Structure 1
Amino acid sequence: MRWTLKPKSEAEKLASLQKSLQVDAIVATLLLQRGIETYEDAKTFFRPSLDDLHDPFLMKDMDKAVLRIEMALSNNENILVFGDYDVDGTSSVALMSTYLKTRTTHVATYIPDRYDEGYGVSINGIDFAHDNDFSLIIALDCGVKAIDKVAYAKEKGIDFIICDHHRPGKDLPDAVAVLDPKRDDCNYPFKELCGCGVGFKLIQALASKKDKSVEDLVQYLDLVATAIGADIVPIVGENRVLSYFGLQVINNNPRPGIKAIINQVKKEELTITDVVFIVAPRINAAGRMKHGNYAVTLLSETNFDLAETYAEEIEAFNTDRREADQRITNEALQQIDNNKEQKGFTTVVYHETWHKGVIGIVASRLIETYYRPTLVFTRSGDKLAASARSVSGFDVYNALEACAEHIEQFGGHKYAAGLTLKEENYEAFKQAFEDEVSRTIDKHLLVPEIKVDMQIDLVDVNDKLWRIISQFAPFGPGNMTPIFMSENLKDTGYGKCVGEDDKHLRMTVTQTGREKIVCIGFNLGDKLSLIENKKPFKAVYSIDENHWQGNTSLQLKLRDIRG
């Protein structure tokens, strides 16, 4: 692991913030690192308010979208809510359709089949709309590049409203409205909404025409928070407000579908991390293993008994997903071990029977072992399809663009992408990808990085610091859990490996001999020798709470240690 200590804050800014907030240097430093420089900034950060949400009509085309939907509602037109099959897409469809059903009965939903139709707006979906007399399609979490599809719909007399958050191409589809804060000509103040977030801004605008405020829409925020967590968008600005209040709904009064998932895992209070690792994978499993419709049905259901039945179905999909993911990961690791060529700057593996729905997860798993830009291929019809994942700091989308002559189709962003190619081009592509990455990657990016906020002493780790850090939540990109470093630590003599195969490291450490604190280091069991016989070492860690037999105490969650 590469430890990178963040630069120290400017002394003048640090002193000013300490004085205005009456906090110590540690808290003031953590705030400055997150762009919080004034009392007002801190107030907004620590006390999220729905009043901090922007006027939805600041978004380009919002007025056109609202006008067209109001017309459809007045004329009893049939409205089709269309979305992608992942968490952001299915949450968006559940959000929009649930809201519209409070205004009309003429609403249906459509999720494309991952295998037959692929990502985004589909011809099948438009044909379905035409065959069933839908005159308006609202597309969520997709559509900003669907120029041909929107033109095809227009020929059939179907209007489109697009709610997307992906970067548009040079031209926009000829839709009634294209809501996307990443449009160059959109002056909306916050650019990092997820698809469900853009959908929420649309229902906020629609509700305002009925003299409803954002407070009347809080019940929808469990869906928005779930999508924010799953889509790994920055949890700053509006996303912080939406996820903060969304988590309150998830923990106090979630919709039946989310409550049914939480009941299965018997978790009391969920953080955004729990949403990412507990709720989101189950919603995703529907689209990966069967069909995204199952997720929309679960998230839209109002009867809890029915929601429990749907959640059981989805849990079965998730079990299948886990088994496929584990089996394929093992097969891919074996393939890498057997292949001497796989020792370059990339990992590219292929097997024709691997499940297309889990190859993205497998790519991420392979990066945990071999920290390199990674592609996992499987057969899809008469083509090969792949999911790409990258290492922090390297743009895999640009690397794929450089290999475009060997590729049929590709799309995605900096750290995750998908592509298809003809089987006869596989070997040539594989070599081209390796050549491009080896030529362009900064070699130190091939070592995982831990960004350390600051160095502190163990004596600084106390209940007061923990209480303040807890208020930094919800954590995520743009506001990660604070990571600290301490030197000259020593085990008190009882450090040991714990867990299955002794994978984890547990110990009690001291720095001066006066203070003692328990540490747990997941997957650090192989570093036991560094702490034995009270040898001094240094560690990077986050502060956490340990709940054991009714008692609560602070502990350090070790990320890495060095002798």
Structure 2
Amino acid sequence: MRWTLQPKADVNKVQHIQEALGVSTFVATLLVQRGIETFEEARDFFRPQLSHLHNPYLMKDMEKAVNRVEQAIANGENILVYGDYDVDGTTAVSLMSSYLLSIYPNVATYIPDRYNEGYGVSYLGIDFAYDNDISLIIALDCGIKAVEKVAYANERGIDFVICDHHRPGDTVPNAVAVLDPKQEDCNYPYDELCGCGVGFKLIQALAANRNQTIDDLIPYLDLVATAIAADIVPITGENRVLCYYGLKVINSFPRVGIKALIGELKKKELTVTDVVFIIAPRINAAGRMEHGQHAVNLLTETDAAQAAFFAKDIEEYNANRRSLDEQITQEALAQIIELEEENHSTTVVYNESWHKGVIGIVASRLTETYFRPTLVFTKSGEKLAASARSVPGFDVYNALEACADCIEQFGGHKYAAGLTLLPEKYEAFKAKFEAVVKATIDAKLVTPEIKIDAVLPLEAVTAKFYRILKQFAPFGPMNMTPVFMTEQVTDTGWGKPVGETGDHLRLVLDAPLPNERKSLTAIGFGLGDKYSLITNKRPFSLAYTIDENEWQGAVSLQLRVKDLK
């Protein structure tokens, strides 16, 4: 592991915010590192308000979008809410359709089949709209590159309103309105919204047009928070406000579909991490294993008994997904070893029988194992389809763009993308992708990194400090859980490997506080093999986060060790 200490924060800025807030140097440093330098910025950070959300009409084409939806309602037109089959897409469709149905009855939903139609707007979806006398499609989390598809729809008398957050291509579709803050000529103040977030801005504008307030839209924020967490967008600006309030909804009065998914969880309060690892995989499993429409049915259901029935099916899809994920990961790892490509700059593997629904998860697993840009291919009709994942700091989208002559179609983000190509182009693509990455990747990026926010003495780990740290939540990209480093630490002698096979390491650290405590416990998952480093009172360095441990009703601070040396 590569330990990287954050650059030192400006001393004058730290001192200013420390005095303004009356906090410790450590808290002030963490705030300045996050770009928070004034009392007002700190107030907004610690106390997010829905009033901080931007006016939706600042987004390019918002007025056109609202006018077209209102025209459809006034004329009694049929509206189709269309979205991708992943969490961002299905939550966005659930959000938009449930809002529209609260004001207008003629609304249907459509999620493309991952296997028959593939990603994004499809000709089959447009034909479905035509056959059902639908004259307006609202596309969510997709559509920004659907130039030919939108032209096809226009020929058939079907208008499009696009709500997307992916990077536009050279040409933008000829839709009635294109809402995408990543367009160069869009001056919206925040461009890191997810697809569901862009959809929320549209219903915010529609609501304002109908004299509704932001408070009327709070019940929809559980969907927005789920999408923000699952799509791994920065937890800054508007995303942080939406996620903050969305988590409140999830923890207090979630829609019956999310409540059915959460089930009998013993946790008092769900965090972004819980959404990522508990709620999101189950919603995703519908589109991976069966059909994304199952997720929409669950998320829009209002009857608790029916929602429980849908959730049971989705739980089964998720169990099947996990089984396939493990199997394919093992096969892919074996293929890498067999091909003797351990020293490559990239991982590219292919098996025509691998399930298309789980290759993205497998790509993530392989990236965790070999820590390099990774593509996992499978057969999809007459073509090959792949999911791409990258390592922090390397833009895999740009790398794919450099290989465009070998690719039929691609799209996505800096760290995750998808593509299709012809089978005969596979070897040429694989060689070119390896060459592009090798020539452009910084060598240090292929070693896993721990970013350390600050050096901290163990005496600073107090209940008060932790209470303030908790207010930095919700955590996520650009606002990660603070990681600290302490040097010259010693174990009391009570530290030991734990777990059935000793895979984990429990530490009992010398960390006295006057009249309060003599030691501090720590747990390092997967660090059991480092036990020899802590014996005989030998000093060592720790990289860790701070959390709480609850045992038999008693709550105490503990360190979650990421690495030690």
Q: TM-score, normalised by structure 2?
A: 0.97
Q: d(CA) in 1 for partners of 2:377 and 2:224?
A: 32
TM-superposition CA deviations, 1:342-388 (whole Å, max 9, x none):
43221121212111111111111112211111111111122222111
The offset of 1:264, in angstroms, is: 4.9
1:531 aligned residue: 534
Aligned counterpart for 2:552 among listed residues 549, 552, 557: 549
Q: Which of 2-11 and 457-466 deviates more?
A: 2-11
2:277 aligned residue: 277
Instruction: Say whether 1:518 aligns with 2:521.
Output: yes
2:365 aligned residue: 365
Contact 2:167–2:412, Cα closer than 8 Å, also in 1? no
SS at match of 1:116: coil
Contact 2:511–2:520, Cα closer than 8 Å, also in 1? no
Q: d(CA) in 2 for partners of 1:542 and 1:447?
A: 20
Q: Which of 160-169 and 246-255 deviates more?
A: 160-169
Contact 1:498–1:525, Cα closer than 8 Å, also in 2? yes
Moved over 3 A (4+): 264-268, 511-515
The offset of 1:512, in angstroms, is: 6.7
TM-superposition CA deviations, 1:182-213 (whole Å, max 9, x none):
12121111111111111111111111122110
Q: d(CA) in 1 for partners of 2:391 and 2:474?
A: 24
1:182 aligned residue: 182
AA aligned to 1:303 is D
Instruction: Say whether 1:227 aligns with 2:227.
Output: yes
1:124 aligned residue: 124
Q: d(CA) in 2 for partners of 1:403 and 1:173?
A: 24
TM-superposition CA deviations, 1:398-435 (whole Å, max 9, x none):
22222333322222222112222222332232222222
Instruction: Say whether 1:43 aligns with 2:40.
Output: no
Q: d(CA) in 1 for partners of 2:479 and 2:218?
A: 23
Q: d(CA) in 1 for partners of 2:347 and 2:167?
A: 27
AA aligned to 1:285 is A
AA aligned to 1:24 is S
AA aligned to 1:82 is Y
Q: Which of 539-548 and 418-427 deviates more?
A: 418-427
SS at match of 2:103: coil
Q: d(CA) in 2 for partners of 1:501 and 1:381?
A: 45
AA aligned to 1:506 is R
TM-superposition CA deviations, 1:504-523 (whole Å, max 9, x none):
11111125797411101111
Q: d(CA) in 1 for partners of 2:403 and 2:217?
A: 46
2:429 aligned residue: 429
The offset of 1:134, in angstroms, is: 0.4
Q: d(CA) in 2 for partners of 1:366 and 1:301?
A: 36
Pairing 1:94-113 to 2, within 5 Å after superposition? 94-113=94-113
AA aligned to 2:553 is G
2:506 aligned residue: 506
Shift in alpha-carbon separation, 1:338–1:533, aligned structure 2, 3 A: farther
TM-superposition CA deviations, 1:118-144 (whole Å, max 9, x none):
111110000000000001100111111
Q: d(CA) in 2 for partners of 1:381 and 1:525?
A: 46
AA aligned to 1:365 is R
Q: d(CA) in 2 for partners of 1:341 and 1:39?
A: 53
SS at match of 1:135: strand
The offset of 1:288, in angstroms, is: 0.7
TM-superposition CA deviations, 1:128-182 (whole Å, max 9, x none):
0000000110011111111111111111111111111112122221111111111
2:62 aligned residue: 62
Contact 2:221–2:242, Cα closer than 8 Å, also in 1? yes
Q: d(CA) in 2 for partners of 1:337 and 1:93?
A: 42
Pairing 1:129-144 to 2, within 5 Å after superposition? 129-144=129-144
SS at match of 1:473: coil
Pairing 1:230-269 to 2, within 5 Å after superposition? 230-269=230-269
Q: d(CA) in 1 for partners of 2:433 and 2:181?
A: 32
Contact 1:83–1:139, Cα closer than 8 Å, also in 2? yes
2:448 aligned residue: 448
Pairing 1:376-415 to 2, within 5 Å after superposition? 376-415=376-415
Q: d(CA) in 1 for partners of 2:67 and 2:479?
A: 37
1:419 aligned residue: 419
Contact 1:342–1:348, Cα closer than 8 Å, also in 2? no
Instruction: Say whether 1:7 aligns with 2:7.
Output: yes
Contact 2:181–2:191, Cα closer than 8 Å, also in 1? yes
Q: d(CA) in 1 for partners of 2:556 and 2:304?
A: 36
AA aligned to 2:176 is V
AA aligned to 1:517 is L
The offset of 1:265, in angstroms, is: 4.1
Q: d(CA) in 2 for partners of 1:126 and 1:532?
A: 67
Contact 1:348–1:430, Cα closer than 8 Å, also in 2? yes
Q: d(CA) in 1 for partners of 2:264 and 2:136?
A: 38
Contact 1:459–1:515, Cα closer than 8 Å, also in 2? no
Q: d(CA) in 2 for partners of 1:142 and 1:103?
A: 24
Instruction: Say whether 1:559 aligns with 2:562.
Output: yes
AA aligned to 1:518 is T
Q: d(CA) in 1 for partners of 2:325 and 2:499?
A: 22
1:327 aligned residue: 327
Contact 1:458–1:515, Cα closer than 8 Å, also in 2? no
Contact 1:488–1:511, Cα closer than 8 Å, also in 2? no
SS at match of 2:385: strand
Contact 2:355–2:378, Cα closer than 8 Å, also in 1? yes
Shift in alpha-carbon separation, 1:402–1:374, aligned structure 2, 3 A: same
Q: d(CA) in 2 for partners of 1:266 and 1:31?
A: 32
Percent pairwise identity: 66
Q: TM-score, normalised by structure 1?
A: 0.98
The offset of 1:534, in angstroms, is: 2.1
2:543 aligned residue: 540
SS at match of 2:247: helix
Segments of structure 2 that go 5 or more residues without pairing to the other structure are: none
Q: d(CA) in 1 for partners of 2:410 and 2:211?
A: 44
Instruction: Say whether 1:495 aligns with 2:495.
Output: yes
Segments of structure 1 that go 5 or more residues without pairing to the other structure are: none
State the Cα RMSD in Å: 1.3
Q: d(CA) in 2 for partners of 1:188 and 1:422?
A: 38
Contact 1:489–1:510, Cα closer than 8 Å, also in 2? yes
Shift in alpha-carbon separation, 1:470–1:295, aligned structure 2, 3 A: same
1:75 aligned residue: 75
AA aligned to 1:121 is V
